Structure 1
Amino acid sequence: MEHKESPEESFNQAQLLKNSSMFYLCIGAVGLMVSYFHHDNMARSWALSSPDYANWEVISLGLLTAGVLAVMAYLFEDFFPSYRALKRVMVGLMGRMTWPGAIYLALLSAVSEEILFRTAIQPSAGVVLTAALFAVLHLGPAQQFGVWALIAFLSGLVFGWTYEATGLILPSLIGHILVNLISFWRFRISFQKAKKRAEKKEGLSPDAPRGVK
């Protein structure tokens, strides 16, 4: 009988991180080039404060952004069955990642996406169109992640507003990184709970080696 790989056996964190690194480094590089050569806004965008906003206000805005979006994602889980189905998919994939891998991916994806969408695209396309493009990036293969794209669109509006209001990338960057980390944390908790339920159902203790009753 042909052996069918379980999700745990088929998960390859190293390959996932390699593919993700290539993708995000590419879009980050494109964003940097457009920002530097076309908009000439690199120094201004990456400043830690501005004449209108002190550093503590910029950081506070980023923290507030993360809080608002985290609450929004939690509410989506309650009201949209399709989001719960999506979460199960993401838990099966991202819930298995180690914390170093999750932190690396959270940082890399947030930095690259904010460089591309905030400093490269938004100055020409505006907040709404940039948020729409941000949503398209999150549709996934065969457009099966529609609800994720909706969340990405709303998140893009919030990130875009903070950049439009302050002229700084730091608030949206802080918010984006924290939202990613919170998501990974929730996926990991859900995965561990599901794993313990499965082991209990099979008559295994959570710490027992797989296959030992």
Structure 2
Amino acid sequence: MTPPPSSDLPKPPAAARPPIRLSAQVLTCLVMCLIAAAIIWFTQDAPLAVFTRPAAPMWQLVIGQGLALLAAAVSYGLYRLGASSESTARTIATYARLDLAGFNPLWMALAAAIGEEMLFRAALQPLLGVWIVSLLFLVTHVPVYRFRKLDRASLVQAAGVFGSSVVLGLIFQYVGLIAAILVHLWIDIVGLLVVRSAIRSRTM
């Protein structure tokens, strides 16, 4: 019996992409911190002052925690308002590849907050300013969000990323790096917990 041509054979199912592990997020954070440390060391007169100005570290903790809780509440409220939107569905699909088991949302959020704030705010913002750094922040997130076409959902996602970066940049500029890290941390924790909850509700 003559075998059918290869084009007629059923194609094997595409292998599911492996989840992105916590170790990958931590490694990314370390690389960002090393790059940031090099930039800060060679471009700033007092490198360690990046942690102590403009507000003292204790005030940064207090103000940052207050702003972080507010940001977390706003982030969750915006999700609830747009829970059924295409942009929310795409964002959930984007982050669904992360391994969100156990306490991973906390550790992943912490890695992202420290790495990105060190690089974009502490290292690059003093050189380039809030607006250019926020544009760079958006550009580096394009592969993450996989903006396929310039439609309303993509514009909403891009505006959210850019706007969040501007807010974090202003917090860094007027309060300090520690405060910016706290706000970033809580926004990401809420976002990752929302994604995990959405994934579990769909599989039940």
TM range (shorter): 0.7 to 0.9
Aligned partners of 2:79 and 2:88 also within 8 Å: no
Counterpart AA for 1:100: F
Aligned partners of 1:139 and 1:148 also within 8 Å: no
Equivalent position to 2:139, from 136, 141, 148: 136
Query: What SS is found at the alignment partner of 2:103?
Result: helix
Aligned residues: 188
- What is the match of residue 151 of structure 1? 160
Of stretches 19-28 and 129-138 in structure 1, the one that deviates more from structure 2 is 19-28
Q: Distance in 2 between matches of 1:73 and 1:160?
A: 22
Which runs of no fewer than 5 residues in structure 1 stay unpaired? 197-213
2:177 equivalent to 1:169: yes
Change (3 A) 1:74 1:32: farther
Counterpart AA for 2:180: S
Aligned partners of 2:105 and 2:189 also within 8 Å: yes
Equivalent position to 1:93, from 93, 97, 121: 97
Q: Distance in 2 between matches of 1:183 and 1:104?
A: 13
Equivalent position to 1:186, from 157, 170, 194: 194
Q: Distance in 2 between matches of 1:11 and 1:100?
A: 22
Q: How much has 1:33 moved relative to structure 2?
A: 1.4
Scaled by the length of structure 1, the TM-score of the pair is: 0.73
Change (3 A) 1:138 1:41: farther
Percent identity among equivalent residues?
20
Q: How much has 1:73 moved relative to structure 2?
A: 4.8
Q: What value does the CA root-mean-square deviation take over the aligned residues?
A: 2.9
Q: Distance in 2 between matches of 1:140 and 1:54?
A: 32
- What is the match of residue 22 of structure 2? 17
Aligned partners of 1:136 and 1:149 also within 8 Å: no
Q: Distance in 1 between matches of 2:64 and 2:24?
A: 33
Counterpart AA for 1:119: A
Q: Distance in 2 between matches of 1:24 and 1:4?
A: 34
Aligned partners of 2:110 and 2:185 also within 8 Å: yes
Equivalent position to 1:110, from 102, 110, 113: 113
Query: What SS is found at the alignment partner of 1:99?
Result: coil
Scaled by the length of structure 2, the TM-score of the pair is: 0.76
Of stretches 138-147 and 111-120 in structure 1, the one that deviates more from structure 2 is 138-147
Equivalent position to 1:27, from 32, 55, 69: 32
Q: How much has 1:47 moved relative to structure 2?
A: 3.1
Q: How much has 1:11 moved relative to structure 2?
A: 4.9
Q: Higher RCO, 1 or 2 (CA under 8 Å, sep at least 6)? A: 2
Counterpart AA for 1:151: G
Q: Distance in 2 between matches of 1:165 and 1:70?
A: 25
Counterpart AA for 1:153: F
Q: How much has 1:43 moved relative to structure 2?
A: 2.4
Which runs of no fewer than 5 residues in structure 2 stay unpaired? 1-9, 149-153
Q: How much has 1:39 moved relative to structure 2?
A: 1.6
Equivalent position to 2:73, from 42, 64, 67: 67
Q: Distance in 1 between matches of 2:124 and 2:95?
A: 31
Q: Distance in 1 between matches of 2:141 and 2:179?
A: 21
Q: Distance in 1 between matches of 2:57 and 2:188?
A: 30
Q: How much has 1:28 moved relative to structure 2?
A: 2.0
Q: Distance in 1 between matches of 2:57 and 2:203?
A: 51
